[in-house]
Amino acid sequence: MEGNELIPNLFRTEYRKIAAVLCKHFGFVHMEIAEDIVSDTFLTATETWGLKGLPENPVAWLYTVAKNKAKNLLKHEAVHQKTAKLLITPEQEIPDTDIDLSDENIRDSQLQMMFAVCHPSIPAESQIGLALRILCGFGIEEIADAFLTNKETINKRLFRAKEKLREENIAIAFPGKAEINKRLEMVLRTLYLLFNEGYYSASQNTVLRKDLCMEAMRLTILLLENPSTNLPPVNALLSLMCFQSSRFEARTDASGETVLYNDQDTSLWDHQLIMQGEYYLNMASQGNELSKYHLEAGIAYWHTIKEDTTEKWEQILQLYNHLLQLEYSPMAALNRTFALSKANGKAEAIVEAEKLQLDNHHLYYSLLGELYTGVDNNKARQHFEKALQMAKSTADQKIITQKIQALG
């Protein structure tokens, strides 16, 4: 592989590792310096490899150059700290110059950075942005695409988040035993949202969306590799991600159009991922804790069984009942009502659906349209037309239009 082909791949895999170690080393006060060193390392690689060809070990070359750049900067500032005062204030000490890029320290640094980035003082969308930038090595344009916004908005969001990290003086360290569970809950929520950003995103960039899901899974596995965070909710979350990801290839057709669950080609489902999901769900069953990730993983498991049986939908209905008791959300309420229609019939589900009164969401009217189809097609059409007026994405609009056409 030529240097110009290899560097983008290495940027995605190695940027995050070097950035995590250097950010930990310099601290959030000098976070931009750490990021600049990593970016400059890859710029040097592009220039040098273009002239001299690939080194024997490209990864080792990157680590050596990054370490040397960091050490040179630290030495330079140590010499001039009394007069320059560019990086430090009298209250701050220059870190020592030992830059440890061993596999163990990279893993520890990424894990510690994960807990720092997912601090409760940082807004959820900023946590995801920081995680994508520092822990996943995503570029600003990629993050903007994932959030369906522009680079300026992302840059402002990341800047405010970094300022908050400095103001709160948040340490890049693993939480103590007393607060590990509380902090882990926030980390899991961020990874859950990161996965959903890829799985349910309206972005047309399928490769990017899949990458988001894979990165969320990679970071969750990082938690499982540490004995302190290898806990049932973490296993449950990874199980959920495996089950959901297993259907990724079947969710769109060759032209990029959305394929609904009932129409998906099961031969495109990744059965290896389904088996992994079952393994992690079994691991999650240890202990007495029941998290929302356990329940959602259970629901996702039953969706890997394509047969439309009453038992399947009764199981899904019960899981949604537990989930809504644990943590109410409008989306879970809508999904629970659909499961009710499959388990107990449309008449009962219509009564429950109309109690929800989620009038500000197109999915509510889509559900009502679905429930009334075959019961009262005029009402079904009215609800679908209301949903069509409210739907924002082209994919949703096309699906609803097809539903209306199917009514004749």
- Share above pLDDT 90 across residues of the chain, in percent, rounded to a whole number: 62
- Beta-carbon-side half-sphere exposure of residue 373 (alpha carbons within 13 Å): 18
pLDDT in tens, 222-233: 999 999 999 999
Greater confidence (256 vs 69) lies with 69
- Domain boundary assignment for the chain: 1-100
Q: What is the pLDDT of residue 91?
A: 44
Q: Are 188 and 237 in contact (CB under 8 A)?
A: yes
CA distance 66 to 70: 6
Burial class, 20, CB count within 10 angstroms (exposed 0-12 / middle 13-18 / buried 19+): buried
Q: What is the pLDDT of residue 80?
A: 53
- Backbone CA torsion sign across 368, 373, 375, 381: positive
Report residue 87's pLDDT band, with 50, 70 and 90 as the boundaries: low
pLDDT in tens, 114-125: 999 998 888 888
Q: What is the pLDDT of residue 278?
A: 98
pLDDT in tens, 243-290: 999 999 998 888 777 888 888 999 999 999 999 999 999 999 998 889
- What does the mean pLDDT of the chain come to? 89
- Interval 156-178 mean pLDDT: 89
pTM of the model as a whole = 0.88
Amino acid making up residue 115 = F
Closest CA to 196 of 184, 209, 186, 207: 209
Q: What is the pLDDT of residue 118?
A: 92
Greater confidence (115 vs 77) lies with 115
pLDDT in tens, 302-359: 999 989 899 999 999 999 999 999 999 999 999 999 999 999 999 999 999 999 999 9
Per DSSP, the three-state class of 203 is coil
CA angle 18, 21, 27 (to 5 degrees): 125
